[in-house]
Each structure stands twice: as structure tokens, then as C-alpha cells.
Amino acid sequence: MALHEILMAGFGGQGMLLSGKLLAYAAMTQGREVSWLPSYGPEMRGGTANVTVCLSDKPVGSPYISSPRILLVMNQPSLERFVPKVRSGGLIIVNSSLVPIKADRDDCTVIYVAANDLARTAGTVRAANLVMLGTLVGFSKIIDRETIIKMIKKEFKAKAKFIPANVAAFKSGYQEGTRARGGSR
């Protein structure tokens, strides 16, 4: 397995930086090389926030990626900005709860997941970022499910009451991803 370059983008506060951190942390515990490079500065304070995560079996070269292989978008501005940059043959996951338009890429796999709705059902709409991460993991299997769940529990250790809803949100996203994978074959 070679290199995974994943760009996760949304509004500040939608938790994409955290999703990226959970993924990077999980991969690191499995002995893989990782990098987590956020956008930073004024963008974080209310504007768009994005993070590039690289997972690799050998030391990560450039952590800065202009054309990612995988894109997760939480909002329309991010879709408009980043969808054209995804590498041909790549994967795009769109939060259809918040993004009313389609990703116009015939050469990529596009999955629409109603992340906010699924998160609300799981117990908290704030976990939409974990639905998105679940969909990525369910579809791509770039990392195993249980390691991420372990990371979620670790992350919310100090706020244990949030663990069940966040894990449930991740799992429902995972199911969506698995289903999409079945459907595409």
C-alpha cells in the first residue's frame, strides 16, 4: 500500500481538523508514517478550515498536497474550491446535508452522505465530522474501524458522556461507506 493523501475541508468548527487528527493518530499507532497539516490563521476563525493528512509506509515527503487523492467536504465553498483539484481516479465524499450541489467529476468516485442527519440520529449533530470520517474508512478501508473507535474514546476521555454519540456517528458513517463500496462494484 502506498500513499494516501486526504484533504478534509469545511467551516471552522465543523471538526474536520479533529477528524484528520483521529485518522493520523490511528495510523501512527499502527506504525505508519503520517502528517497532519492544517490551514491556519484567519481562516480558522469563522471561515473555511481544512487539513491535509498523509498516510504512508515510508517517510512522508511533502505534507503539502495541491491535488489530493481523497477529498472530504462539509460545505459548498469547500466543494467549489477543492473538487477540481482532486486527482483523477480519486475519491470525493460530500456532506449532502449541507451541500446542495453535486461534485462534477466523472473521473472520480463521489459519495454523498447526509452527515448532519445521520449524526443527529446518532445523538449529536456535532458529530457530523465523524460520520464523514466513518464513510471514508468504511469505503476505503485505509485503516481498521476499531483503531479509530479507540482514538475517539481517547479523544473524548475527559468528556466521556459524548463518547457513545460520537462512536455511533462514526459507525453510521462507516456503514454508509461500506454500502457505497458494495454498490460501486
Partner 1 sequence: MAKVLMKGNEAIGEAAIRAGCVHFFGYPITPQSEVPEYLSKRLPEVGGKYVQAESEVAASNMIYGSAGVGIRVLTTSSSPGISLMAEGLSYIAACSLPVVVVNIMRAGPGLGGILPAQGDYLQAVKGTGHGDFQLVVLAPASVQEAVNLVILAFELAEKYLTPVMVIGDGMIGQMMEPVEFPIEGVGPPLDPGDWALNGARGRDKRIINSLHLDPEYCNKINMDLKAKYDRIKKNEQRWELYNCEKPYDLLVCAFGMMSRICKTAIDELAQAGYRVGLFRPISVWPFPYATCKQAMQKAKRVLVLEMNMGQMVEDIQLAGQGTREIDFFGTAGGKVFSPDESKEKMLYSLKQAGAGKSRAGVSQPSSKSEGKPKKKKAAKTAGPAKKRKAR
For residues 64 and 104, which CB has a smaller minimum distance to partner 1 in the complex? 64
Q: Does 21 bind partner 1 (CB under 8 A)?
A: yes
Residue 161 CB, nearest approach to partner 1 (Å): 25
Region 47-86 residues binding partner 1, contact defined as CB under 8 A: 58-67
Q: How far is the CB of 148 from partner 1 (least distance, A)?
A: 14
Among 6, 24, 127, 130, binds partner 1 (CB under 8 A): 24
Select the residue interacting with partner 1 from 6, 16, 34, 93 (CB under 8 A). Answer: 34
Question: In the complex, what is the shortest distance from the CB of residue 107 to partner 1, in angstroms, rounded to a whole number?
Answer: 17
Please enumerate in sequence order all residues whose Cβ is within 8 A of that of 69, keeping only pairs 6 or more positions apart, or say none.
Answer: 3, 4, 5, 6, 86, 87, 89, 90, 91
C-beta closer to partner 1: residue 36 or 174:
36
Please choose, from the candidates 29, 32, 25, the residue with its C-alpha nearest in 3D space to the C-alpha of residue 4. Answer: 32
Residue by residue, DSSP assigns 5-26 as EEEEEEETTSSHHHHHHHHHHH
Q: How many residues bind partner 1 (CB under 8 A)?
A: 23
CA proximity to 87, closest of 107, 111, 67, 61 = 67
β-bridge partners, 18: none
Q: Closest approach of Cβ 122 to partner 1, in Å?
A: 26
Q: How far apart are CA 30 and CA 32, in angstroms?
A: 6
Q: How many CB atoms lie within 10 A of CB 114?
A: 17
Count each helix (H run) and each strand (E run) in the chain, helices first: 6, 6
- Which stretch in 33-41, 69-77, 119-127, 136-144 sits in contact with partner 1 by CB under 8 A? 33-41
Binding region for partner 1 (CB under 8 A):
21, 24-25, 28, 33-38, 40-42, 58-67
